[in-house]
Homo-oligomer: A and B are copies of this chain.
Amino acid sequence: MLSSKYLACLVCSITLNLLFIINIYVGDQWKLSWSTRAALEAEKIAAIYCSGHGRAYLDGLVVADGNQPVCSCNTCFTGPDCSRFIPRCAADANSGSPLFLEPFWMQHLASSALVVPGWHQMGYTYDDLTFVSKELEKLVRRLHSTVGNAVTKNRFVIFGAGSTQVLSAAVFALSNENASSPARVVSSVPYYVIDKDQTQYYSSAKFEFEGDAYTWRNRSDASSTDMIEFVTSPNNPDGQLKEAILHGPNVKTIYDRAYYWPHFTPIPAPADEDVMVFTLSKLTGHAGTRLGWAVIKDETVFNRMMLHMKLNSMGISKDAQLRAFRLLKAVLEEGTGIFDFAYRTMKSRWERLVRTVSSSDRFSLPENNPQYCTFYNKVRQLSPAYAWLKCEREEDKDCYAVLKEANIIGRRGNLFGAEDRYVRLSLIRAEDDFDLLIERLKEFISKENGAKTFEE
């Protein structure tokens, strides 16, 4: 009898232990059904080893005979696991792909993962028959109020395919349909290249691009002409908190606030302009999602922009909105986490850049006047997304070519309406790109300085 009791006890105990083990190691996962296959596939692909210089994507390239994607390598890296550096590869500081935020998301996998059932949101519109997700809108408002960078109370919010589509919608919405002459669209030099290219591309009887806002400041016809001014603030390319040049009843202003986040600039006060444009790209780093928004005071302007979204693309991708929803939820969950990470990264990159550039007098960077930041409650400097580098030598009229010689790809000053003595260097790309940029700059400068060596 004793032995059988003992046996029963033992069996019970082992069973219980096993159940606990299941619970600890398996947790709630046994409850999953339809999402399991996709989750397993996604985790398997995400785990493919790419040496820290790349990553494998679900929709990444599949090579011949394979049925699993291969590593997508960062610029200048190659090989099946991205471990091989391509010799003499140029440092890419051209595009503004904000990969500097990728490590943040690698550190917040659980809160940022998204699971979408096949039947999710198939119709054109949401419940309320609009193209705008109300829940995403709520998150956007909450975020602005948490950060204190924009007033959204009693304002309309509209989404679009990146700030690119939103900016275009704003120009159309602010142009007078039945004007005798087209509205003149201007921006003060240096300006964001897309503002010019896009406005020229769509120019019509409604509006035309007219170049530098400064040239219109003292013109006698400026007050009798419909004007639209783009104000990118902080500015792309030079990172300064730009202000409007033109004022008056005939002037409408579109504030591109893409970079008005604490990682790029001190936030002196919440922005409160008539039309303010933001983008997920420079907030969470998800440029590829194409999700921008505008905060708008006037209902007519809002309605006209809505009409633009309808005629341009029959609304905004619900998948882009859903992704943004998931990411902004994760951002809000982490408190100031993403801003701390991003600011730390940008600050450290700027310190490295300034140290490198200041070791030579061949190049210079814009002034960086500290300001009070209401988000961090302290006086701090700018840490812009781009460096607006100037070649100081008289003969270096083509700064792009000078950098090309140093095996660095920047973006020419004249694309921003400025002299070619300037080049824009993107500082928000992947760590690999930034490291290479600094390395190449150092090599170039140390060659200049002859034997003189320096430490970064």
Contact = CB atoms under 8 A, between A and B. Distances in A.
Nearest to A322: B59
A321 interface: yes
A289 B135 contact: no
Interface of A is mostly: helix
A446 interface: no
Contacts of A18: 15, 18
A32 interface: yes
A52 interface: no
A231 to B, nearest CB: 20
A249 interface: no
A178 to B, nearest CB: 14
A289 B318 contact: yes
B112 A117 contact: yes
A18 B22 CA distance: 10
Given A11-B10, A43-B34, A288-B317, A113 B121 contact: no
What 8 A-B pairs come out closest when comparing CB atoms? A112-B118, A34-B109, A288-B318, A42-B115, A161-B313, A204-B204, A97-B123, A105-B118
A289 B41 CA distance: 22
B330 A118 contact: yes
B97 A122 contact: yes
A125 B322 CA distance: 20
Interface stretch (A194-202, A267-275, A367-375, A402-410): A194-202
Interface stretch (A23-31, A211-219, A240-248, A447-455): A23-31
A146 interface: no
Contacts of A325: 58-59
A36 B29 contact: yes
A318 B72 CA distance: 15
Contacts of A31: 40, 43
A311 interface: yes
Interface string A266-297: 00000000000000000001111111000000
Interface of A: 3, 7, 10-11, 14-15, 18, 22, 25-43, 46, 55, 57-62, 69, 72-73, 95-99, 101-102, 105-106, 108-127, 133-136, 160-162, 164-165, 168, 172, 194, 197-198, 201-205, 285-291, 308, 311-323, 325-327, 330
5 contacts: A22-B22, A34-B46, A99-B123, A113-B116, A319-B323
Contacts of A314: 161-162, 164, 194, 287, 290
Of A29, A122, A287, chain B has the most CB atoms within 10 Å of the CB of: A122
A287 B122 contact: yes
A228 to B, nearest CB: 17
A171 to B, nearest CB: 12
A347 B121 CA distance: 25
B125 A57 contact: no
Contacts of A38: 110, 113-115, 326
A333 to B, nearest CB: 11
Nearest to A55: B119
A141 B36 CA distance: 29
A162 B39 CA distance: 28
A275 B33 CA distance: 43
A27 B32 CA distance: 10
Contact of A57 (B120, B291, B308): B120
A96 B125 CA distance: 11
Contacts of A60: 127, 135
A29 B120 CA distance: 23
Contact of A32 (B29, B33, B312, B323): B29
B311 A312 contact: no
Contacts of A330: 118
A306 to B, nearest CB: 13
A343 to B, nearest CB: 18
